[in-house]
A and B are shown apart, each in its own frame.
Chain A
């Protein structure tokens, strides 16, 4: 049976990993290449790289790093951040990315997903949605969670999938950074609405949060987290062992 995926996420700015990395035994803790290799060697099922660079110069640095990462690790690699056009897809895919994640770019240009899916296939296009409750309604936020678009989130995500997004990363702004567990209510609403893989993001604080996620919502395909892995609070091998004990199929 298909396994549940565990996905570390790396935020990269000007060619370096940010969001405080605190690893033992890594000479260069903010090198995306050594971190990617570390995760790949230690059981990560996939990696996500977000480019949070603002400048063009930083962006080309990111491209160089991406090529280096892609030639070092042999697991699927998803890249997001600053993807606004089909040319942006082309740029990161040529570096060796397998999937491209779009967020604000798809909000600004609703045709982006359709164009990219037609050119590269659905499996290549990931919709990453930042969602927050506003007066009891799930709303899509843009610009890294700073701007309420006013759009209702579930129908927006459904529309993206209908347009060709082959996977959904649901990042709950409400649970992100709180470390109190994934947003099961929000995830369930998304899982019920779409029939493509759903990746849970935002809120993982401990191993139990992942166990609870996959036990409560068997339709969720993967769990994504950043800081708990970066800080070594949770090791991927330890996490998988615990999931296995709980009857959840992992690699």
Chain B
């Protein structure tokens, strides 16, 4: 069973539908016990970092997610969910994340040329790093995925598995062992996105 963490941040409808469409057994989970039982975890999220991080902490779900990830349960963060995996974010202040991916989250302002619009909204091409990650096994270099974001992960060279170009090289996806993060929305990225989710769903549970 795949637990999609439901902590009151954003709409989980599309994500759940997209997972169901590829035959996954999906459960929207807001309770620790269900997340503990899941053999894969997806952490979604839209909105502000500080608010989302606070909600995870208030419910104690942060500890469960970290614990399960450290045990080897495959975990994927999507959009803000990916940013939450980082050590910290500088979105309106400085806030602590889950620390599962080394690096921090910063604004695109000042990084990309002024004439480019922020948020970065739309379909953009993926460029893989040298060792192609297993979650990209069904897709190709330059395949486009759908982005909506104003902040992005930096200082994460070791875990970066894909970038996209938007006036600068922007982190599109990260991986640290069994922990994955996508800045884009696979559930809104048509067939390419579904293939990424499928590859994630096929991952073996290495829980010990």
Say if A and B assemble together. yes
Chain A interface, DSSP helix/strand/loop, else mixed? loop
Which residues 2-17 of B have a CB within 8 angstroms of A?
A: 11, 13-14, 17
Say how far A210's CB is from chain B's closest CB, in angstroms: 16
Q: Is A74 within 8 A of B13, CB to CB?
A: no
Q: Is A3 within 8 A of B121, CB to CB?
A: no
A91-99, A135-143, A150-158 - the one binding chain B: A91-99
A72 / chain B contacts, CB cutoff of 8 Å: 17
Say how far B144's CB is from chain A's closest CB, in angstroms: 4
Total interface residues on B, using CB and 8 Å? Answer: 29
Interface-centre pick from A2, A45, A71, A166 (highest chain B CB count, 10 A): A2
| Candidates A40, A166, A197; contact of B190 at CB < 8 Å | A40
- Determine if B189 is an interface residue (Cβ-Cβ < 8 Å): yes
- Also in contact, A70 and B122, with CB within 8 A (given A40-B190, A75-B190, A98-B188): no
| Candidates B21, B119, B165, B188; contact of A76 at CB < 8 Å | B188
Say how far B4's CB is from chain A's closest CB, in angstroms: 14
Which residues 42-90 of B have a CB within 8 angstroms of A?
A: 46-47
Q: Is A121 within 8 A of B21, CB to CB?
A: no
Q: Is A197 within 8 A of B166, CB to CB?
A: no
Chain B interface, DSSP helix/strand/loop, else mixed? mixed
- Determine if A179 is an interface residue (Cβ-Cβ < 8 Å): no
- Determine if A183 is an interface residue (Cβ-Cβ < 8 Å): no
A51 / chain B contacts, CB cutoff of 8 Å: none
CA distance A40 to B20 in the complex (A): 18
Q: Is B123 within 8 A of A166, CB to CB?
A: no
Say how far B202's CB is from chain A's closest CB, in angstroms: 18
- Also in contact, A74 and B21, with CB within 8 A (given A96-B13, A196-B117): yes
CA distance A195 to B118 in the complex (A): 8
Q: Is A70 within 8 A of B14, CB to CB?
A: yes
Q: Is B117 within 8 A of A3, CB to CB?
A: no
Which residues 132-148 of B have a CB within 8 angstroms of A?
A: 144, 146, 148
- Determine if A27 is an interface residue (Cβ-Cβ < 8 Å): no
B117 / chain A contacts, CB cutoff of 8 Å: 195-197, 221
| Candidates B13, B20, B124; contact of A70 at CB < 8 Å | B13
Q: Is A2 within 8 A of B120, CB to CB?
A: yes
Q: Is B122 within 8 A of A5, CB to CB?
A: yes
- Determine if B194 is an interface residue (Cβ-Cβ < 8 Å): yes
Q: Is B148 within 8 A of A123, CB to CB?
A: yes
Q: Is B146 within 8 A of A221, CB to CB?
A: no
Say how far A215's CB is from chain B's closest CB, in angstroms: 18
A76 / chain B contacts, CB cutoff of 8 Å: 146, 188
- Determine if A56 is an interface residue (Cβ-Cβ < 8 Å): no
Q: Is B122 within 8 A of A3, CB to CB?
A: yes
CA distance A122 to B148 in the complex (A): 11
- Also in contact, A71 and B17, with CB within 8 A (given A121-B46, A123-B119): yes
| Candidates A3, A121, A196; contact of B124 at CB < 8 Å | A3
Of chain A, the residue at the smallest CB distance from B165 is A1
A94 / chain B contacts, CB cutoff of 8 Å: 11, 13
Q: Is A1 within 8 A of B124, CB to CB?
A: yes
Kindly list 4 other residue pairs between chains A and B, CB separation below 8 angstroms, not including A2-B120, A71-B21.
A2-B124, A74-B193, A122-B119, A195-B117
A-B contact pairs, 28 of them (CB 8 A): A1-B124, A1-B125, A2-B124, A2-B166, A5-B123, A45-B122, A70-B13, A70-B14, A71-B20, A74-B17, A74-B21, A74-B188, A74-B191, A75-B188, A76-B146, A76-B188, A94-B11, A95-B13, A96-B17, A98-B188, A122-B119, A123-B121, A166-B119, A195-B117, A221-B117, A221-B121, A251-B123, A251-B144
